[in-house]
Structure 1
């Protein structure tokens, strides 16, 4: 009797566990079965290219009320499939209408539990953002990785727009799931027991080669809104946009299901895409490399190398000694940029040719890090970020109004006794401006001096207006970025540096008072008033 029961159980699982790899066609769908022992089956709509079902080990993980798709959905598409080398099921979706001009690919490999994807664009969607959104069952996959509840907005009340919420006294937003593209490798939803994971995984060299914004750009990764668990791969968007969009092949990237823990980026093999006739795909054999040594960057900071032109971009981190080798790059001429942390300190031109490695060393040339001068005080570090300043450790994952934030002020910083962590990372016209710096001097500074204020991001034309004792100086508006910033977890924009030329004799013996205010042609309320984010404030002569 026991043997019969066991046999029945095995037979009940057998149709899924032993199903053959292949595609079943119906009037409305293509059903792709990977044929693996986890019973991984994906259904793609033949009318609009959306995924309507994802079954894994016999369980439906696709959210039932909405599908998974590009942008807000293609509306309509010409969808076809082919089997390549008896191993890969390639579904090709072509959409050409008033909103889209693209080709999207789904690839399922025999024996895998992964949907590999890539998206080829000829024009930017009218919606102004290019993303893939996988809508998964919230009841089955409610736990976000790696940032926990930062973007869990379920049950919340909107406090800014329709995308920042307060939940049980904490602020949450889908924007608080962001990670720098250079670090964005794997992000997931899992069940409460963490034995089933659904994860987005990027290709280390190709996923972002057509993105915009550079290695430190961030965008939405995930959102648990109570209805579904959303995993997104953003290729570009208008979220703090700093450069033009690139068109062409975005990807590959992958949606990976796993019951053996969080997948490792290096463990996901995308190399077979070279055999699939994917539009815009350039194999490694037709690419080249750049290698060299980066110098002049303080050992306290990461050394990041960035190659960029109007068509492609790549990046890597140099070793502690400065040695680096680029990812495999499409041939062309690139601007090669060196960053101290996230601060641009050098750039030069380099040409990449197929099948070879170009040697190109790079050294910091920016006067910010190479000039010899006498520093009177410095608040923060020249690294292109507000790291170390007040609330910078929280701002990526919560709204500035969050009760977990330290008070924004207005505050007074006293040179010699205050710490950088007591100086605000951002100055808001209607919240904490001005910030005051008290500078005690035992003797007057007879020379002309410079107060250098580095900023990373400005909103609504926000820029410094400075008074040093009786001397004042203001600045013209920075280049506008049409996007909220600090309130939705961003700190990086165009990055401006303002030099206040302090006349000789202005800084006197005793206590000197420096105030930094926000000047702007517009006004606003609270944290959406004109503002800017500090990188570093340095007084020198």
Structure 2
């Protein structure tokens, strides 16, 4: 009995001691021990996170902090306990209309967060940025596409060449609708940002917006959650409470399910609990099964989205009360719009149907689905600069009846790669009359828009599209305003037998890949007007 007691006593000394949950002061910082293996420090002067210690390893970079944007500067920072299980650090910026909340839950290894803005934040964009040590976290999001260590900048300060490959922090992006969890990894550790359903409700950009998730440098992993972005910005920024979201430390990637209902106990302005929300339910019809069926609701204050199942049935996230524009997408191509009003505690029924009118083109290259992925280089450009040697040569020729979509370039540049060419034949019957050439684009840069030519026919260039004032394809971006151009081809222009369409670029710009360009969704020829 004595020997057994002796060994049990020794064993107890070897076991880790459970920490006490709560907030203490260490130097000029609040130290929060989650009692779940994570201890983090928040500066009392700036609200920056200055230490992230998880299971005995320091993950916070030593020379830069974890913060909103690149730091809020001088701030009023306070702490409070809510009962015995929740610790809240509140950071009120002295120079920006921003309040940041860092929240710990007893026994958990996450930092739960919310960001409240009541006006535009300088320099405009809004992001949470964790600057972490790369040593214990060598593998970033979509590794190694966003790891520029040892590279040479080839465009601006964000596109690098590393060996024979191009790298860019924008290559770490994921569409908001799919960006529930993104993680960086080390030996037996995953550090993740979790954005559960509704976390993007006061962000801007819609379901297909994407932005930087990660950048690897020589010694750091910069880890991002973008809320308001200026990159390919298609709508005004939204204000208000953003979140909840979380920075998670664990042995493996979390599943994205994040229970934040306890926020209701924390008295955080702007947070709306489930009881103050409603849903939209219904059926979306008319989208062919080979395409995703996406529902999107938005107004100036909020935005939401979901996928419909294969039968078209859908249920929205829990939405704040209000009237919303409701959009149906065939993949990413808008095919119907309506309006719906949401009331707290209620479920509103609203069906929606694809409003496209059926027709049969003479020929079509690609699909009108808002994405260029089926075209040449479309399966790789999200992770590669257009100059990357792994990509196929730009420009190209598509022959109707023998070529595949992979022969037609997903982007056409004013000064790189040359135009795209379509060869097609008409018989004596279907060559008669007028035709319409339809060119769908997903994004324009420097005023780039389609300029067709068939024989001696060259129509005036179309109206210059709205400038989003941001690089696109060179940083893996393709989602813009989605212009569709219809060119009326006069009767007699096309002839029986072989015909050739040359599709170039109207627009000006800088040299190389930063000249005027556009990204192609689909191209088709229609008999008639």
Contact 1:101–1:125 (CA<8 Å) still a contact in 2?
Answer: yes
Deviations 1:64-111 (A, max 9, x none): 1111000010111100011112101000000131xx111000001110
Alignment partner of 1:343 out of 333, 337, 350: 333
Structure 1 residues 9-24: aligned runs within 5 Å: 11=13, 14=16, 17-24=17-24
Contact 1:433–1:516 (CA<8 Å) still a contact in 2?
Answer: no
| Partner Cα separation in structure 2 for residue 390 and residue 27 of structure 1 | 57
Contact 1:217–1:492 (CA<8 Å) still a contact in 2?
Answer: yes
Matched, 1:199 2:192: yes
Give the CA deviation at 1:371: 3.4
Aligned match of 1:427 = 412
Matched, 1:481 2:468: yes
Alignment partner of 2:403 out of 390, 402, 418: 418
Of residues 149-158 and 429-438 in structure 1, the stretch that sits farther from structure 2 once superposed is: 429-438
Q: What secondary structure sits across from 1:144 in the alignment? A: coil
| Partner Cα separation in structure 2 for residue 136 and residue 416 of structure 1 | 53
User: Taking structure 1 as reference, are residues 13 and 75 closer, same or farther at Cα in structure 2, changes over 3 Å only?
Assistant: farther
Deviations 1:417-470 (A, max 9, x none): 111111000000001232111112232511211110000000000001111222
Q: What secondary structure sits across from 1:504 in the alignment? A: coil
Alignment partner of 2:108 out of 112, 118, 124: 112
Give the CA deviation at 1:505: 2.2
Structure 1 residues 57-206: aligned runs within 5 Å: 57-97=55-95, 100-145=96-141, 147-191=142-186, 193=187, 195-205=188-198
Give the CA deviation at 1:523: 2.8
User: Taking structure 1 as reference, are residues 6 and 483 closer, same or farther at Cα in structure 2, changes over 3 Å only?
Assistant: farther
Alignment partner of 2:491 out of 475, 498, 504: 504
Aligned match of 2:479 = 492
Aligned match of 1:217 = 209
Q: What secondary structure sits across from 1:471 in the alignment? A: coil
| Partner Cα separation in structure 2 for residue 35 and residue 475 of structure 1 | 62
Alignment partner of 1:239 out of 206, 217, 231: 231
Structure 1 residues 499-538: aligned runs within 5 Å: 499-520=486-507, 522-538=508-524
Give the CA deviation at 1:529: 0.6
Structure 1 residues 27-66: aligned runs within 5 Å: 27-36=27-36, 38=37, 40-66=38-64
| Partner Cα separation in structure 1 for residue 526 and residue 239 of structure 2 | 45
User: Taking structure 1 as reference, are residues 6 and 231 closer, same or farther at Cα in structure 2, changes over 3 Å only?
Assistant: farther
| Partner Cα separation in structure 1 for residue 437 and residue 7 of structure 2 | 81
Give the CA deviation at 1:8: 6.5
Alignment partner of 2:313 out of 320, 323, 329: 323
Deviations 1:292-342 (A, max 9, x none): 100121111000000000000000000111100100000000000000000
| Partner Cα separation in structure 2 for residue 27 and residue 262 of structure 1 | 33
What's the TM-score once normalised by structure 2's chain length?
0.96
What's the TM-score once normalised by structure 1's chain length?
0.94
Contact 2:394–2:418 (CA<8 Å) still a contact in 1?
Answer: no
| Partner Cα separation in structure 1 for residue 4 and residue 377 of structure 2 | 63
| Partner Cα separation in structure 1 for residue 57 and residue 12 of structure 2 | 17
Aligned match of 2:244 = 252
Give the CA deviation at 1:58: 1.3
Contact 2:393–2:417 (CA<8 Å) still a contact in 1?
Answer: no
Contact 1:116–1:254 (CA<8 Å) still a contact in 2?
Answer: yes
User: Taking structure 1 as reference, are residues 490 and 6 closer, same or farther at Cα in structure 2, changes over 3 Å only?
Assistant: farther
Aligned match of 2:342 = 352
| Partner Cα separation in structure 2 for residue 61 and residue 492 of structure 1 | 34
| Partner Cα separation in structure 1 for residue 9 and residue 494 of structure 2 | 89
User: Taking structure 1 as reference, are residues 150 and 334 closer, same or farther at Cα in structure 2, changes over 3 Å only?
Assistant: same
Deviations 1:203-252 (A, max 9, x none): 212x1001111000000011111221111100011111110000001111
| Partner Cα separation in structure 2 for residue 166 and residue 294 of structure 1 | 45
Aligned match of 2:423 = 438
User: Taking structure 1 as reference, are residues 9 and 130 closer, same or farther at Cα in structure 2, changes over 3 Å only?
Assistant: farther
Deviations 1:477-514 (A, max 9, x none): 00111000000010010110000101122211111111
Structure 1 residues 232-381: aligned runs within 5 Å: 232-259=224-251, 261-266=252-257, 268-365=258-355, 369-372=356-359, 374-381=360-367
Matched, 1:404 2:395: no
User: What is the total number of aligned residue pairs between the two structures?
Assistant: 523
Contact 1:433–1:518 (CA<8 Å) still a contact in 2?
Answer: no
Contact 1:117–1:252 (CA<8 Å) still a contact in 2?
Answer: yes
| Partner Cα separation in structure 2 for residue 381 and residue 142 of structure 1 | 39
User: Taking structure 1 as reference, are residues 3 and 199 closer, same or farther at Cα in structure 2, changes over 3 Å only?
Assistant: farther
Of residues 270-279 and 282-291 in structure 1, the stretch that sits farther from structure 2 once superposed is: 270-279
| Partner Cα separation in structure 2 for residue 324 and residue 539 of structure 1 | 35
Give the CA deviation at 1:26: 4.0
Gaps of 5+ in 2: none
